[in-house]
Chain A
Amino acid sequence: MLNYDFMRNALAASLFVSILCPCIGIFLVLRRYSMIGDTLSHASLAGVTLSLLCGQNPVLGAFIFTSLSGALIEFLRGYFKKHTDLILAVVLSLSVGTAITLISSGKLHANADSFLFGSVLTVTRTDMILIAALSLVSVSALIFMYHSLVYIAYDEEAAVIAGVKVKLISYIFSILVASAISVSIRIVGVLVLSSMIALPVATALQLGKGFKCTLILSIIFSIIDIMAGLISSYYLNVAPGGFTALVSAAVLALVLAAKQISSAIRTTATARHTS
């Protein structure tokens, strides 16, 4: 498998993606914004189709369009304070409408299907370098804003009182989400991208640890999910995105089962000890 250039590129790109996605995902999940990931991943498809129409790099196009969509969501949040779900519907309609119109026009210079389902074959060396660069910049920005992001997610009012510029940080964060999504669509595809953002975090949350520990566990689960999904999909000859989502769900189910069993064992032990 590693004899193939495209597979080496895919594995390297997957490693970056598997670190970046949960780093972004933990803040989205804890702010109850998981569905933003889904909306922005569809926005990225509009960016991809626009790039393919203009003959530009699709990852870059996805990044720009998704960033603008993220900023639009933040901007509209001020107008739809009580109906934030409506904002997602608006941005989703705009993005999917753009993507479907462009794909159906037949004027694209390449096939956009690989971005819908994810395909290791589409990861070129240039893409890999772009993915690495965007991932490094995003993770560095996240480390720099870590404490502000933790507090915006945990207790936004306390963050405001401590002098955190919540609006500015939220805009920067939406650009980071856009970055994570645009670098991930090559690997997992638009349709199951939100699962890569939310599922490793959902799995880590089951273990009831502190923030840093949950973040580290999310990254570990994410690496397991993506690598297992990618390698299995190579041998099974299926789309890596779909299979990665299945692996993520299976790992979550395993952790939930292990948690149930361990809780049952503890209850039995306590009952024996009491009697």
Chain B
Amino acid sequence: MIKTENLTFSYTGLRPYILDGIDMEIKDGEYVSIVGDNGSGKSTLVRLILKLLKPTRGRVETTANRIGYVPQRSDFSGSGFPITIYEMLASYMKLLKIYDKRALDEILRLVGLEKHSGALAGSLSGGQSQKALIARALLGGPELIVLDEPSSGVDNDSQRELYGLIKKLNIEKGITIISVEHNLEAAVANSTLIYHLSGGRGHFCTPQNYAAEYLNPGGKENKNA
């Protein structure tokens, strides 16, 4: 369970706030997509949940002992860094104090990267990179995985595969998913709940209601709605 109370944030600590008094509760096993315009505070909200940022006011509580994080690929300074997928995962395992290498092999198989474990992280395609980051997030058996725009820079076929994997983790392993989404079609198709952020505040709605209220038939947000 993740609960925020009066969660308020700005980088200066002063108004205008990026997030202004967010009260939200996400139950275990949910798949929540956070949507909203550019600059609406989606990534800030998940960074506060991950405790990478300190709230200006309010608080975040989580019952998850281990949280996996899949960062935005554009934020990810991996390309050009001399590290193989296996090294990237093995080093992270050591940081989490996991010493069972079979867990690593099993996760590589689960995300379908077992044949790419020796490849350099920067040499992978967009879809494969995201899978590698999901594999890293899966180390240590997380109860919650937070993803920041998982489909950015990923082609359509790989997107389908990627969302299939995320959904599988949610349904079969019961992992709670919080995903910042620009891909509204994917948000509606996969989530159990949608959290819409606008003007520093947010509200939950079902994917069906969100689609009816905000989306045009093509999956694009209807700004006039």
- Do these two chains really belong together in a complex? yes
Residues of A within 8 A of B (CB): 30, 146-148, 150-151, 153-155, 157-164, 205, 208-214
Which listed residue, B50, B82, B136, touches A214 by the CB 8 Å rule? B82
State how many angstroms separate the Cβ of B122 from the closest Cβ of chain A. Answer: 9
Q: Quick one: CB contact mask for B6-42 with A, threshold 8 Å, 1 for yes? A: 0000000000000000000000000000000000000
Known contacts: A205-B82, A210-B84. The answer to whether A160 contacts B91 by CB under 8 A is: no
Whether the pair B82, A161 counts as a contact (CB closer than 8 A) is no
Residue B92 lies at the interface, judged by CB distance under 8 Å to chain A: yes
Residues of B near any A CB (own CB < 8 A): 50, 52, 67, 69, 71, 76-78, 81-84, 86-88, 91-92, 94-96, 118, 120, 136
Q: Is the CB of B69 within 8 A of A158?
A: yes
Q: Which residues of chain B are within 8 angstroms of A209 by Cβ–Cβ distance?
A: 82
Would you give the shortest CB distance from B10 to chain A, in whole angstroms?
16
Chain A residues, Cβ within 8 Å of B92: 147, 151, 158, 162
Residue of A161, A163, A214 touching B69 (CB-CB under 8 A): A161
Q: A154-B78, A210-B82 are in contact. List 19 more A-B contacts (CB 8 A).
A: A146-B91, A147-B95, A150-B83, A150-B87, A150-B91, A153-B81, A154-B88, A155-B76, A155-B78, A160-B52, A161-B69, A162-B95, A163-B95, A208-B120, A210-B83, A210-B120, A211-B82, A211-B91, A214-B82
**Contact A210/B81 with A151-B92, A151-B95 known, Cβ cut-off 8 Å:** no
Cβ 8 A contact of A162, one of B76, B96, B118 = B96
Q: How far is the CA of A157 from the CA of B50 in the complex (A)?
A: 10
**Cβ–Cβ < 8 Å partners of B94 in chain A:** 147
**Which residue among A157, A163, A208, A210 has the maximum number of chain B CB atoms within 10 Å of its CB?**
A210
CA distance A192 to B136 in the complex (A): 40
User: Chain A residues near B87 (CB, 8 Å)?
Assistant: 150, 210-212
Q: Is the CB of B71 within 8 A of A158?
A: yes
Q: How far is the CA of A161 from the CA of B53 in the complex (A)?
A: 11
- Residue in B88, B95, B118 whose CB lies within 8 Å of A159: B95
CB-nearest residue of chain B relative to A207? Answer: B82
A162 to B120, CA, bound (A): 22
For residue A164, which residue of chain B has the nearest CB?
B95
Q: How far is the CA of A30 from the CA of B121 in the complex (A)?
A: 14
Residues of A near B67 (CB, < 8 A) are 161
Partner of B83, one of A146, A154, A163: A154
Which residues of chain A come closer than 8 Å to B86, judged between CB atoms? 210
Q: Report the Cα distance A208→B80, complex, angstroms.
A: 9
Q: How far is the CB of A217 from chain B (nearest CB, A)?
A: 10
Shortest Cβ distance from residue B44 to the other chain A in the assembled complex, whole angstroms: 14
